[in-house]
Structure 1
Amino acid sequence: MNKIDRLLVFGDIHGNWERFMDVYQKVNVNPENDLVVFLGDYLDRGKNPVPVMDWVLEHFETKNMIFLRGNHEQMFYESLRNEGQDAGMVDFQISSPKSLWFAEGSGGFETYKAIGKSGRGKYLIAAWLQLIEKMSLYAEIEVNGQKYWFVHADCNPEQPLVKQGSKKLLWERNLAKYPGLHQETQIIVLGHTPVQALYFGSKPQWLNQGKVVLMDTGSFLEDGHISCANLLTKEVWQSN
C-alpha cells in the first residue's frame, strides 16, 4: 500500500463514549497519513453506546479507516435482524440469539435500552444492521514488507484468513491464551480477550517476540481503558 506515517489500531470500545473520545483525541488521528483499524466490539456493557454508534456510522466510509466486526456486533445482528417483522413477538427461548445477547455479562440489554431511550431506535437498528453486514471479519495489510493480520478474536496463523470460519474469528481465544502457537511471520493483532483476564497489566501486550498483539484492555472494567497503538513504533495511547 501507499506510504503511511502510522499504522494505528484501536481495541474494544464497548459503548464507552467518553473513554473513546478521550483516547481518540489524544491520538490526533489524521486519515490522510494514518491507517486506522478498529477491532470491533463497539457496543454493549458501556453506559453510552448511542454516540459510539453515531460516530461509527459517520466515519465508516472515511479514507484509511477500517472497521472490523466483533462478536458483540454479531449478537446485535442475529438478535435484531428480524426486529419489526414480527411485532410483539420477541424470542426469548434459552437458545435464541436475543437470550444470549441479553444474558448477564453480555451487555446487550444495556445497548438495547439506550437505543430505545434515544428516540431514534428504528433508525439506529436499521442503520446498524446494514452497517454490520458491511463490516469485514478480518483485514490483511502489508507495510514496509511486514504483513499484519487484524481479527477481532482469534485465527489460525497457518491458514489463509479467507478460509477461516466466523466462529473462530469472532469468538475463540486460542492465540490470546497460547501465543506460542504462532510460528509464522505475520504480526497478528487481536481484541476480544481483556489483557486483565490473562493477568497482564491494563496495557496492550506484545507476545511471542511481538508476533501476537493484544489490544483489548478492558474498556468496560472500572480500572480498564480503551487503547490505541501505533504498530510501527509500539507507541500506546490510553483513555483515562
Structure 2
Amino acid sequence: MASLLSIGASLFIKQKPFSLKPKSGIPAPLIPHVTLGEDIVAHKRLTIIGDVHGCYDELIELLDKTRSLDDDALVLFVGDLINKGPKNKQVLDYVKELPNAYAVRGNHDEAVLREMMFQRKNDYVLSKKYGWTAELDQSDWDYLSQLPYTISIPSKRILLVHAGLVPGKPLWRQNAPDMVTMRNLEFTDYFGGNGWQGNSNSGKGQAWASLWRGRAMCISVMMQRENCNGMNLPQDWTRVVCMEAVSPLQSWMWMVQ
C-alpha cells in the first residue's frame, strides 16, 4: 500500500525539467541563489532599488537623498543595472566598488553579457543599440556573469528576484529564464508534467505575484509594476517612489528599517 501511495505521489508531482542555463548561451552564475545572513544585515537599513538602467546621475542623487551610503545602510539592486540609459559604464564601475551593495541578475544584464560574448567573434558587428558595450572589459564580464538570480534575507523574510518565481517550487527548481524575464503564469496539464509555467507575455496568463504565498516577501520588478497596489508591506517599511530622481525610467525604491 505504501509503495502504491509513493508511486501515486511521484506521478502527481512530476514536473517539466528545470534549467539554470540562460537561453542565450551565456554562463549561469556559480552561486545562483545567495543568502545574506545576520552577520551582513544586522542593524542595517536596507535600500532596495529596481532598474537603474544606466542612469548614473540619478542613482547618485537617489543614494544621497536616502543616506544609503552611510555605514548603517545596505543597498540591494533588483537587476537591470545597465542598458537603455546614458551612463551605463559609469553605473557598472560605481556599483562594483560599492562596499555595501548586492545585486541580482536582470534580463538587460544578460543582454549585455550576450553582446560581450558575441563580440569575441571576429565577424560580429555591434548594433548601434549596444555600441556602448565596446567599453566593457573582463572585470565587467566577471561581475555581471556572477550576479545571482536571487538574494534571500531570512531574518527579514525578504526574497529578491528580477522578474519572478513560480509559486510552490523551491529555488533550486526555478528556471533561469523565468527569474529574469517572467511576467505571468499559465496553468497546463499537471499530469503531462507541466503545471504552472512562467511566460514573459504580459497579455497571457495570470500575474505570478497574485499567486505568491511564500513565507518570504518576494520583491521583483514585475511585482512592483503589476501588483504593487495589492502588496501588504510590513509596518517598518517605507515605500519611496523616487519621481524626482528617476522619473524617466519610473524606477522605484523601498527603505527597510
TMscore range, shorter length: 0.5 to 0.7
Contact 2:163–2:222 (8 Å) recurs in 1:
yes
User: Of 153, 159, 162, which residue of structure 2 is paired with 1:152?
Assistant: 162
CA separation of 1:9 and 1:45: change in aligned 2, threshold 3 A: same
RMSD over aligned Cα atoms: 3.4
Please tell me whether the aligned partners of residues 11 and 216 of structure 1 are also in contact (alpha carbons under 8 angstroms): no
User: Residues 150 and 189 of structure 1 are in contact (CA less than 8 Å); yes or no, is this contact kept in structure 2?
Assistant: yes
Give the Cα separation in 2 of the matches to 1:58 and 1:216: 25
Pair 130,215 (structure 1): closer, same or farther in 2 beyond 3 Å: farther
In the alignment, residue 18 of structure 1 is paired with which amino acid? Answer: D
Match of 2:124 among 90, 101, 111: 90
- Secondary structure of 2:92's counterpart equals helix
- Matches of 1:15 and 1:216, distance apart in 2: 18
Query: Within 2, Cα distance between the matches of 1:173 and 1:26?
Result: 31
Q: CA deviation at 1:113?
A: 2.7
Greater helix share, 1 or 2? Answer: 2
Partner amino acid for 1:65? A
Query: 2:213 matched to 1:183?
Result: yes
Taking structure 1 as reference, are residues 35 and 194 closer, same or farther at Cα in structure 2, changes over 3 Å only? closer
- 1:229 matched to 2:254? The reply is yes
- The partner residue of 2:110 within 71, 74, 96 is 74
Is 1:139 aligned to residue 151 of structure 2? yes
User: Residue type matched to 1:74 in 2?
Assistant: E
User: 1:173 aligned to 2:183?
Assistant: yes
- The one of 87, 101, 111 equivalent to 1:65 is 101
Aligned match of 2:232 in 181, 187, 209?
A: 209
| Partners of 1:7 and 1:34 within 8 A in 2 | yes
Provide the rounded CA distance (Å) in 2 between the counterparts of 1:126 and 1:218: 34
The alpha carbon displacement at 1:50 in A equals 1.9
Structure 1 residues 218, 31: CA separation in 2 closer, same or farther (over 3 Å shift)? closer
Structure 1 stretches lacking a partner, 5+ long? 92-97, 103-108, 233-240
Q: Give the C-alpha shift of residue 135 in structure 1.
A: 0.9
Q: What is the CA distance between 1:206 and its match in structure 2?
A: 5.7
Q: Quick check: 2:151–2:159 contact (8 Å CA) kept in 1?
A: yes
In structure 2, relative to structure 1, the CA distance for the partners of 1:127 and 1:114 (3 Å cut) is: same
Q: Deviation digits for residues 187-228 of structure 1, max 9, x if unmatched?
A: 001025773xx4x9xxxx3634339xx999899x86544332
Once residues 152 and 105 of structure 2 are traced to their aligned partners in structure 1, the CA distance between those partners, rounded to angstroms, is 14
State the 1:36 CA deviation.
2.0
CA distance in 1, matches of 2:221, 2:242: 8
SS in 2 for 1:81: helix
The AA in structure 2 aligned to 1:155 is L
**If the length of structure 1 is used for normalisation, what is the TM-score?**
0.68
In 1: Cα distance, 2:133 partner to 2:112 partner: 12
- Who is 1:161 aligned against? 171
